Amino acid sequence: MACVPCAGGVPPLVPEEIARLLPRLEGWEAVENHHLAKAYRFGNFAEALAFLNRVGELAEAVGHHPDLHLAWGKVGVEIWTHEIDGLSESDFVFSAKCDRLFAESLFASPVLRLTGRPRPSTRFPSPTESR
């Protein structure tokens, strides 16, 4: 399945459309109405890397490629439609698919099996923010 807006010719979503779609996603933020961003937390580097690889496989399968950031126990995902330099509905669909991958990864996680609680997702700091 290819990303239709990636071919161009589709205008970016306007702020009102973004505001209507954003509540359907949990924990995502619309940064300057330009891209969606979210950070996922994991118990170790290996779990974070495995999730990042699954998101990469999804991106290749659908032809829609996010910016991915890997740190110990964290994966940051930023998505927008590069061809139109803004957000499209495809970005919201991709974000929901990332959340599904994350939920699936929790079931395989030793932390979830031991505690019964998923890890919280938090915002991944931008490169310009202090850590």
Mention every residue, 6+ apart, whose C-beta is less than 8 A from residue 88.
3, 5, 10, 12, 13, 81
Nearest CA to 122 out of 39, 47, 22 is that of: 39
75 located within any domain: yes
Q: List residues bridging with 68 in a β-sheet.
A: 77
92 located within any domain: yes
107 located within any domain: yes
Give how many domains the chain has, as a whole number. 1
Residue 65 belongs to domain spanning: 12-115
Assign residue 108 the CATH number of its domain.
3.30.1360.20
98 located within any domain: yes
Q: Which residues are identified as catalytic?
A: 60, 64-65, 82-83, 91
pLDDT of residue 5: 59
pLDDT of residue 130: 46
pLDDT of residue 114: 41
Mind listing the pLDDT tens digit of every residue in the chain (131 residues)?
A: 556 555 667 899 999 999 999 999 999 999 999 999 999 999 999 999 999 999 999 999 999 999 999 999 999 999 999 999 999 999 999 999 999 999 988 765 554 444 444 445 445 554 455 44
| 90, amino acid identity | S
19 located within any domain: yes
